[in-house]
Structure 1
Amino acid sequence: MRAPLGSLVLRAPAKVNLLLKVTGRRADGYHTIESLMQKVSLYDRLELRLVEQWGVRLRCPGSELAEDESNLVFQAARLFLDRGTSSATAVAPGVEITLEKRIPVAAGLGGGSSDAAATLAGLNRLHGGLFSAEELAAMGLQLGADVPFFLATSGACWASGIGELLTPVETVLGVVFVLVNPGVSVSTKWVYDTFSLTGKGKGINLTNSRIELLRQRWGNRVAGQLPAGTDLENDLQQVTAGRYAEVGRIRQELVGLGASVALMSGSGPTVFGVFTDRQQAERCCQVLKERYSATFLAEAVDFDGLAAEDTDTGMQ
């Protein structure tokens, strides 16, 4: 029996990398990492509606995003429907998706991966939990290394491998993030490839003992609250900041406006500042928003982040 033709609205969160260390490069060209990733309350909004018409129809109003198979959301929906069609339980013939973007694109905040994860999770909910969490994560990995993280039920994870090996950790509490995007798009592939060149011969591979020390250190710091002055690390920051001087300037400005520490997220160029005083964070956000329109105030998300705004699972 096929699932009812229902609809679902989801909020897909952004993420920040509190720690990102490049540990090596595999034979297939993918880089291995050790990273502490935290979901934050900056969201894209997706509406999914199952329909009788076959196929995927995607709309991205107010943005310049592609609405075809080059979009990761389109790919996620197509993958789910194709996989579902081959299962014992029939799936809806098609889906209409409206994606409203708020997370900057190509910004180091994982917006595209989060949207893909929300699409997979949303379609799974609409089909009554057709696939297990492990099956969804495997599908997500086909779309991108960060997708399994956004499918995870925890707000924060230690990620290793290419980002797909996840260990849930405690969510960072007691801090507010100010996210600042300078308005340029950065290719993740370019950043990693450039890092490989600049890091050549410098021993980017970390020993297992060093990795364990990093995990222990961060495990102690993140339990409950991230203390002011905590050293954050991102190996990729040197690459992106080398081309885009705004990254360094924004970091300095965030600290000057009260952030205890500031760091680039992912492959950038978005920079986030960590504040323990919300009012100070709000003032900082107001000041920087005058020059950088993509400036946001956010808090850590202490759950999977894929919050449903409303549902309609009745027959159409």
Structure 2
Amino acid sequence: MSQDLLTVYAPAKVNLSLKILGRRDDGYHLLDTCMQKLGLYDTLTLHRAGQGICLQCPGADIPEDENNLVYKAAQLFLDWMAQKKGVRPSVRIVLAKAIPVAAGLGGGSSDAAATLLGLNKLLDGECPEEELFTMGLSLGADVSFFLHQAPAVRAQGIGEEMEPIASLRDCWILLVNPGFSVSTRWVYQNFALTEKDESGTLKNSQQVVGGLYGTDLSLLLVNDLERVTLTEYPALERIKNEMLGLGAEGALMSGSGPTLFGIFKDRQKAEEAARVFNQQFSQVFLVEPLQ
């Protein structure tokens, strides 16, 4: 049944691991990464209204035009509708941000994926899953992850080769964003690819993620990009060490940063750590992994 308004939610993610294995001739880096969706969401309200595409991001200092992945995703989907269905509806999208911008938490990619999925439902597009994934991959590898139904995956290639893995469970994730953004492009440009060796691949990621407890988190919590960002922003190293001192089982920078996350088994310790960081930073979130 056709509808005129739909609200969808776009979750954040963290990279539980991120290894850079090489770079293709087209400049894309080859990755081996484990990603986990989190219970922290942006909210998108999609309307059949207006003329063309109207994107509004109230209260957020982000573009509201084709420089926003949400706008690009809407363009791709409406182009597909015009080609396959012979119609090009007008849409208005209101994006309410909760996920920090340019923070390594995948907010922009998640918003784009939610836009594709939401418009497909709102506009009765009946777009096949594989075509949605093709659109998503053209916008960025992380978009494909958020189109995937699994709450956690291991992704390889440029991020398009995904296999579901067991989600983290019975734990709390503390996110601390220092209040500044970091360009993903800058981080990758400053990453010096070292000679590939045995440490260049993740071992037993399914077993480590699924069996978090009783395992050495150092086997999983590794991020090749961390040394680039932490070298430029040494305050992040202090945040990471403080998390560990407050009882985190492990701590790591997510993606290209600058958000740091800590994994806590003890909720009381997690809540106390959140109180400590809330006194220092304005973007602190205590969340659970999606199941």
In the other structure, the counterpart of 2:269 is: 280
Change (3 A) 1:285 1:164: same
1:156, distance to aligned residue in structure 2 (A): 0.3
RMSD (Å), alpha carbons: 1.7
Distance 1:226 1:127 in 2: 44
The equivalences for 1:119-130 within 5 A come to: 119-128=115-124, 130=126
Change (3 A) 1:92 1:182: same
In the other structure, the counterpart of 2:175 is: 179
Change (3 A) 1:235 1:99: same
Matched, 1:8 2:10: no
1:219, distance to aligned residue in structure 2 (A): 1.5
What amino acid maps onto 2:30 in structure 1? T
Q: Is this contact kept in 1: 2:81–2:125, CA < 8 A?
A: no
1:54, distance to aligned residue in structure 2 (A): 3.3
Aligned residues: 289
**TM-score normalised according to structure 1 size:** 0.87
In the other structure, the counterpart of 2:140 is: 144
Matched, 1:257 2:253: no
Q: Is this contact kept in 2: 1:175–1:226, CA < 8 A?
A: no
1:128, distance to aligned residue in structure 2 (A): 3.1
Distance 2:276 2:200 in 1: 39
Q: After alignment, is 147-156 or 57-66 more displaced?
A: 57-66
Q: Is this contact kept in 2: 1:172–1:226, CA < 8 A?
A: no
Matched, 1:47 2:40: no
Secondary structure, counterpart of 2:21 in structure 1: strand
What amino acid maps onto 1:31 in structure 2? H
Aligned mate of 2:260, from 271, 286, 292: 271
Change (3 A) 1:224 1:91: farther
Distance 2:17 2:76 in 1: 31
Secondary structure, counterpart of 2:104 in structure 1: coil
Distance 2:156 2:208 in 1: 19
The equivalences for 1:203-282 within 5 A come to: 203=195, 205=196, 211=201, 214-216=202-204, 218-227=205-214, 229-231=216-218, 232-282=221-271
What amino acid maps onto 1:172 in structure 2? L
Aligned mate of 1:59, from 56, 59, 67: 56
1:127, distance to aligned residue in structure 2 (A): 2.9
1:186, distance to aligned residue in structure 2 (A): 0.6
Matched, 1:99 2:95: yes
1:6, distance to aligned residue in structure 2 (A): 2.0
Matched, 1:115 2:80: no
Q: What do the CA deviations read for 1:215-266 (whole angstroms, capped 9, x no partner)?
A: 42x2112225454751110000000000011210100110111101110000
Matched, 1:31 2:29: yes
Q: Is this contact kept in 2: 1:173–1:224, CA < 8 A?
A: no
In the other structure, the counterpart of 2:67 is: 70
What amino acid maps onto 1:58 in structure 2? L
Distance 1:129 1:82 in 2: 12
Secondary structure, counterpart of 1:86 in structure 2: helix
Distance 1:246 1:95 in 2: 42
Q: Is this contact kept in 1: 2:13–2:35, CA < 8 A?
A: yes
Distance 1:75 1:5 in 2: 22
Secondary structure, counterpart of 1:258 in structure 2: coil
Q: Is this contact kept in 2: 1:19–1:36, CA < 8 A?
A: yes
Q: Is this contact kept in 2: 1:59–1:99, CA < 8 A?
A: yes
Secondary structure, counterpart of 1:195 in structure 2: coil
**TM-score normalised according to structure 2 size:** 0.95
In the other structure, the counterpart of 2:83 is: 86
- With a CA cutoff of 8 Å and minimum separation of 6, indicate the structure with the bigger relative contact order: 1
In structure 2, list runs of 5 or more residues that go unmatched.
none
